[in-house]
Structure 1
Amino acid sequence: MEKQQSEVVLYGTWASAYCTRVRLALKLKGITYEYVEEDLTNKSESLLHYNPVHKKVPVLVHKGKPVAESLVILEYIDDCWNNSPKLLPEDPYQRAKVRFWANFYDQKIFPSSHAVALSKGKEQVNAIKEFDELLGAFEKGIEKDFSIKFPFNGETLGFLDIVVGTHACNYRAFEEAVTVVFDPKKHPAFLWWVAKLKDSPLIKETLPPHDKLVAKIKEVFFQAPKA
């Protein structure tokens, strides 16, 4: 007899910050789900079926209907399971601001941090400068738009906390494996926020193990080129 699929299924990979943010949101909402670990070197037929456009994780399947792209999935979770805690503010303008900065982080800061790791010499100096400028703009924008240093109040995780926390809270593993990216002298406010997020019990239990992640990052950044 064919196994019946759970109502909520998440296709992901354990080391992906994009997948971790979806797992964190599901836990935060108290949603029971089935998790399917994908091997991205040998993608399953299910993944290719549910995400034929990008063929990437994460993919959330709810009642047989797939939702792709992590930020889209977070919004879907918040809309579909509208119980507390809410991930996004109720006010439309505040929601728009949160969406803007979440997209800025994903489209600018996330890839810029990788550019620092992948470059050397003068190219790396320029990459670090660009990263610092982008993170500085993010810090100032958050403070201006939300009238506080950063959104996390030490109690309730919100949309931006999930987006940033599941990436930046792993920065020590990234530094150990590759290079220093976040300079505490240049960005004390941002790293204060990250430290607060790392103290969240829910984030602690959702983040991948440090040593295992270090090994994975080294594998990704320093793997030998194929012949």
Structure 2
Amino acid sequence: MAEEVKLLKTWSSPFGLRAVWALKLKCIEYESIDEDPSNKSALLLQLNPIYKKIPVLVHNGKPISESLVILEYIDQTWTQNPIMPQHPLEKARQRFWAKFNDEKLLPSIWSVFTKERKERKEAMEELVENLKLAEEELQGKRFFGGDKIGVADFAFGWLANLMSVFKQVTGFKVIDGRFPLLSA
């Protein structure tokens, strides 16, 4: 029996892209279902009745919500090309940096995007400090986990995907020469 794998997402969501990248890395075929976050489908509301947001991975009819949870589910379900290290300390570090991205870095960039004048300047300072911390963590490494791509790298993947859009909208470049490792 073939497995049924569907992913509800939008093209622009960094959270949905995480699941796309993980499924592609693991060579898992899936049906992509694009959602409109401003006009949520009955399917989305049925599959994620608590948060009512994307992404939602549906595996053999069972929904899994929240992007970091989805990544761990994908990694544990399809074991080829692992994205989580086996060692508990390294696994904890991957989770820490993914959580840092979601709870510190993304909110700080959103603040820069939505604030004006003095508040934007303060938000930009906080964003730069958060980027410095991530840049320092990458010192001497290709990925957050060293030589292998992992969950933290998927979490930070929005940098490559959305920074050019951010520059076009706000008029300034966040990832510049100060952050060569994040830029790479």
TM-score in terms of structure 2 length: 0.90
Aligned match of 1:17 in 14, 17, 31? 14
| 1:142-157 matched pairs, under 5 angstroms | 142-143=138-139, 148-151=140-143, 157=149
Q: Which blocks of at least 5 consecutive residues in structure 1 are unaligned?
A: 1-5, 194-227
Q: Does 1:176 align with 2:172?
A: no
Deviations 1:178-197 (A, max 9, x none): 23252424323322x3xxxx
- Which residue identity does 1:18 align to in structure 2? F
Deviations 1:118-176 (A, max 9, x none): 11211111111111111112222344xxxx344179x85322222212x1012112101
1:177 positional shift: 2.1
Aligned residues: 181
1:25 positional shift: 0.8
SS in 2 for 1:71: helix
Q: Tell me the equivalent position of 1:54.
A: 51
| 1:1-227 matched pairs, under 5 angstroms | 7-83=4-80, 85-143=81-139, 148-151=140-143, 157-165=149-157, 167-169=158-160, 170-191=162-183, 193=184
Q: Distance in 2 between matches of 1:90 and 1:162?
A: 17
Q: Distance in 1 between matches of 2:41 and 2:16?
A: 16
Q: Distance in 2 between matches of 1:100 and 1:179?
A: 31
- Which residue identity does 1:172 align to in structure 2? S
Contact 1:113 1:181 in 2 (8 A): no
Q: Which blocks of at least 5 consecutive residues in structure 2 are unaligned?
A: none
SS in 2 for 1:11: strand
1:39 positional shift: 1.7
Q: Distance in 1 between matches of 2:58 and 2:175?
A: 39
Over 3 Å counting, the alpha-carbon distance change for 1:21 and 1:7 in structure 2 is same
Contact 1:128 1:181 in 2 (8 A): no
Q: Distance in 1 between matches of 2:102 and 2:171?
A: 20
State the identity as a percent: 40
TM-score in terms of structure 1 length: 0.74
Q: Distance in 2 between matches of 1:18 and 1:73?
A: 10
SS in 2 for 1:186: coil
Contact 1:12 1:36 in 2 (8 A): yes
- Which residue identity does 1:168 align to in structure 2? L
